[in-house]
Amino acid sequence: MEEEIIDSSFFSEDLEEKSSVDVKKTGFENSFNERQVGSITMAIEPVSSRASLDTVLEMFEEQPDLTAVPIERNDWVIGVVERDVIEKNKAAGFKLFASKTCGDYVKECPFTLNCSDFIETVAAKVNDTAIKVEIKHLIVLLNNRSFYGIVSIAKMNAKLEELRAKDMEKAAAIQQNMLKKNSNTKKFPFDVCIWNKMANAVGGDYYVAQELCEGRYLIGSFDVSGKNVSAALLTVTLGSIFSMLAMQDCSKLNASQLVIMLDNFLKEIVPVGNFITGAVCCVDYKAKTVSVFNCGHTNVFAYLKDEAGKGRVATLAPTLPPFGMGAVAETITGEKKGAYKMPLKNGLQIDLYSDGFTDMQSDDGERFDEARTKAFFGELFKTDVYSAEKTIEKTVTDWIQHALLPDDITVMNIRF
């Protein structure tokens, strides 16, 4: 006998208390996806405008979750009687006479929605109308013809927030998966510690650590101008470039050519007014050299002990323009500015980081600043590779405490 594997998708029935609203069966309940208005529409039988108000009062009493009743006139649904309007009139001392009809309390809907309308598309118009005419429900039609039901504007906004949260969660998962795939350093002949914390679900920091070809490696930290989704989209572009490089023969591509190629590619993608700062570290074990290109990024720090065993630091300030403006090639060839080049020696450490590290604030609003950043990496130089990640984590946590992160933070510690 075959066994059927049951995953989480099978557990679809909600054990929570069901709504008390008496909705009719339409046969179209499963015809709409969760992004369409039809998926959150209440299929409630309309009441005649000539009917006694008692009809609606009785419905509200019997169905505590019912927030509005559709009202029809001459076989056409014109609006709704809303529960809160009735309750406000009661609270204000107005007498609801049995002789009153539903038509006396109907709120006519200025326009109708269609079941197939997408919530994201109509939300702005719906909310604008809700404010102007003080209405909380709208009529929904099937195929823009026959009455289907009514939709709560509050429920629509709640659904919109839910959809956006789901989209953001998926985007965050995609971004994190991309970062992990492009930063697997287990087989590297040197150590790379990477620590990253996004200020929001998705962000504009990107990092990469990958082997270009035998004996050559690329480690980079990038920071996209802008915030949240727009910045995250450009990090996906960066990820695509490096994923493509992983499948190409890069043996004949030198470090300068790689940086120029990256800038030229991003120039075609990055919108005018945006840019991407980056610090790119190219390691060549055959030539025994390390080249660092600083393209408008934060200072890069290189640490090494001298012959006397004393720690020395080199500050590698940006000498090249940010990526995405097409100016890197001209700066390298025209102004003869390029990489910081140093011999690959045992004990050498190189630190890359995004400006979220220097900009993080304490509960009192004090920045971590550049001086503390340089001092921190000086102390990190004295630690072993196994405690580096915990040291970074503790430094960030102790500094910000309960404060919110103003920006994403990425720290990369490279040890040879």
In a domain, 301, yes or no: yes
In a domain, 13, yes or no: no
In a domain, 96, yes or no: yes
306/312 Cα distance (integer angstroms): 7
In a domain, 109, yes or no: yes
Residues 241 and 345 in one domain: yes
| Global confidence as pTM | 0.76
Residues 275 and 187 in one domain: yes
Q: How many domains does the chain have?
A: 2
Residues 399 and 265 in one domain: yes
In a domain, 173, yes or no: no
Residues 96 and 220 in one domain: no
Walking along the chain (416 residues) 10 residues at a time, the average pLDDT comes out as 53 54 72 92 92 88 90 92 83 59 89 94 92 91 92 94 89 82 85 92 90 93 84 86 86 90 91 91 94 96 87 93 90 81 94 95 92 94 92 94 88 96
Residues 191 and 285 in one domain: yes
In a domain, 4, yes or no: no
Residues 294 and 192 in one domain: yes
In a domain, 169, yes or no: no
Cβ atoms of 132 and 26 closer than 8 Å: no
Residues 105 and 252 in one domain: no
In a domain, 95, yes or no: yes
Domain around 98: 19-163
Residues near 185 by beta carbon (within 8 Å), at least 6 away in sequence:
191, 192, 194, 209
Q: Residue 350: what pLDDT?
A: 97
Q: What are phi and psi of 395, to 5 degrees?
A: -60, -45
- CATH code for position 374: 3.60.40.10
Residues 246 and 355 in one domain: yes
Cβ atoms of 218 and 290 closer than 8 Å: no
Q: Residue 272: what pLDDT?
A: 85
Residues 47 and 147 in one domain: yes
Residues in the chain: 416
Q: Residue 117: what pLDDT?
A: 95
Q: Residue 182: what pLDDT?
A: 67
Q: Residue 1: what pLDDT?
A: 45
- CATH code for position 99: 3.10.580.10
Residues 329 and 296 in one domain: yes
Residues 23 and 140 in one domain: yes
User: In the chain, how many H helices and how many E strands?
Assistant: 10, 17
Beta strands in 24-136 (DSSP E): 47-48, 68-73, 76-82, 107-108, 112-114
